[in-house]
Homo-oligomer: A and B are copies of this chain.
């Protein structure tokens, strides 16, 4: 069933130990959409500027992603510059040109409003809530956030969290949001803020799914990869695989959630093999399912 994502479609200029790219297509909604597109129908709500051409948009459209909600606004597209050192877990921001993203007011096409699934990628929490309210038919709402909003828009974020079913954040964000350095305790505190389930992403160590109902957690692996060209977008691709797989299933069971954790890890692992969205444009479902099997054998006793 269809999933709508609201987030950023942007340009990235990146340097990693493997090389350098100038002004390639990135952004949370881009990575999420490409990843989810291997599982289900995806609709995107975002804003781009005049420098975002039809050719850029084709990266999404070629994967069948609905770009009716991609607003073209006068000005330039959001452009982020970052650099990764040998420790690929942390990016050093070189510049952030918000451009048209600074005054982004998400406009949701009426055609999207029947989406059963909604993902609020990392944007200002008030905007996330405005979008959330329009999707009263959504059966599952996923969300992301970042340290910036935890620091400067905490009250707004707490209001948004009350309307999110599954939150996907990383270790640092979970500890920051909860004020607790123990992950299981942090998880419980964050779920006390609203979400029924919480995915904490551990980078190269995988991710853990916590349930608010007290069911014991579930840990999914990340693949120990030799070649990591560019870690940008791994978290958004995780979310895309996770939500996309859920949206493709007839029912939301705990087993579906567990498999979704594996698909999240699988899609994150593809994302980082090449720069930007390169690897995500050319995947096949066969490759995805083969890596799923590999992840299973990497962690399963028999």
Q: Is the CB of A218 within 8 A of B299?
A: yes
Q: Is the CB of A183 within 8 A of B224?
A: yes
Q: Is the CB of B301 within 8 A of A301?
A: no
Q: When chains A and B are docked, how far (Å) is the Cα of A224 from the Cα of B182?
A: 9
A181 in contact (CB, < 8 A) = yes
A216-B297, A301-B262 are known contacts. Are A208 and B224 too (CB-CB below 8 A)?
yes
Q: Is the CB of B302 within 8 A of A255?
A: yes
Most B CB contacts (10 A, CB to CB) among A216, A218, A224, A258 go to A224
Q: How many copies does the complex hold?
A: 2
A294 in contact (CB, < 8 A) = yes
Q: How large is the interface on A (under 10, 10 to 19, 20 to 34, 35 or more residues)?
A: 35 or more
A86-B181, A204-B183, A226-B185 are known contacts. Are A300 and B301 too (CB-CB below 8 A)?
yes
Q: Is the CB of A301 within 8 A of B182?
A: no
Q: Chain B contacts of A220 at CB under 8 A?
A: 299
Q: Chain B contacts of A226 at CB under 8 A?
A: 182, 184-185
Q: Which residue of B lies closest to A208 (CB)?
A: B224
Q: Which residue of B lies closest to A292 (CB)?
A: B301
Q: Chain B contacts of A225 at CB under 8 A?
A: 184
Contact residues of A between 164 and 206, Cβ < 8 Å to B: 181-185, 187, 202, 204-206
Q: When chains A and B are docked, how far (Å) is the Cα of A112 from the Cα of B88?
A: 47
A217 in contact (CB, < 8 A) = yes
Q: Which residue of B lies closest to A188 (CB)?
A: B226
Q: Chain B contacts of A302 at CB under 8 A?
A: 255
Q: Chain B contacts of A301 at CB under 8 A?
A: 255, 258-259, 262, 296, 300
Q: When chains A and B are docked, how far (Å) is the Cα of A274 from the Cα of B296?
A: 33
Q: When chains A and B are docked, how far (Å) is the Cα of A133 from the Cα of B296?
A: 40
Q: Is the CB of B298 within 8 A of A300?
A: no
Given contact pairs A255-B302, A299-B299, enumerate 15 new A-B contacts (beta carbons under 8 Å). A88-B181, A182-B228, A184-B225, A185-B226, A202-B205, A205-B205, A206-B219, A216-B298, A218-B298, A218-B299, A219-B298, A219-B299, A255-B301, A259-B301, A296-B301
The 19 sampled A-B contact pairs (Cβ below 8 Å) are: A86-B181, A88-B181, A182-B226, A182-B228, A183-B224, A184-B224, A205-B205, A206-B219, A208-B224, A216-B298, A217-B224, A217-B298, A218-B299, A219-B221, A219-B299, A220-B299, A255-B301, A259-B301, A300-B300
Smallest CB-CB A-B distances: 8 pairs: A205-B205, A184-B224, A86-B181, A219-B221, A184-B226, A299-B299, A219-B299, A300-B300
